[in-house]
Amino acid sequence: MKKNIPNGILIIAVLIFGWLSIDVISQTGFYAHINFELGRNYGGMLGGILSFLSIVLIYFTLSLQTESFNRSSFESKFFELIKYHRANVAEWEHTPPEFKEEKIVKGRKVFVHIHRQILRALEELTPFFKNKNLEDIMLPDALNELKRNANFISRKIDLMLLQKINIAYMIVFFGVLEEGRRILSKVVKKKYNEEFYEKILIHFQNIPVKRECDLDKVKNNTHIKYFGGHQNRLGHYMRHYYQSINYVNSYKPFKSKYPDKYNYVKMYRAQLSTYEQSVFFFNSLSDLGNVWELDQSNLNSNDQLITKYNLIKNIPTEFILDINLNAFYPDVEYERGDKSDNKKILIKNYK
Predicted TM-score (pTM) of this structure? 0.81
List Cβ neighbours of 285 (8 Å cut-off, separation of 6 or more).
Answer: 162, 165, 166, 169, 294, 328
Whether residue 107 has pLDDT greater than 50: yes
Mean per-residue pLDDT, 86-94: 96
Q: φ, ψ for residue 315 (rounded to 5)?
A: -80, 120
HSE of 338, CA atoms in CB hemisphere, 13 A: 3
Q: Give residue 298's pLDDT.
A: 93
Whether residue 38 has pLDDT greater than 60: no
Q: What is the mean pLDDT of the chain?
A: 85
pLDDT level of residue 112 (50, 70, 90 thresholds): very high
Whether residue 313 contacts residue 269, with contact meaning beta carbons closer than 8 Å, is answered with yes
pLDDT, one tens digit per residue, over 255-287 is 678 999 999 999 999 999 999 999 999 999 999
Q: Give residue 28's pLDDT.
A: 54
Whether residue 65 contacts residue 39, with contact meaning beta carbons closer than 8 Å, is answered with no
pLDDT, one tens digit per residue, over 163-214 is 999 999 999 999 999 999 999 999 999 999 999 999 999 999 999 875 444 4
Closest listed residue to residue 191, CA positions, set 163, 229, 151: 163
Domain ranges, ordered by start, for the chain: 4-70, 91-351
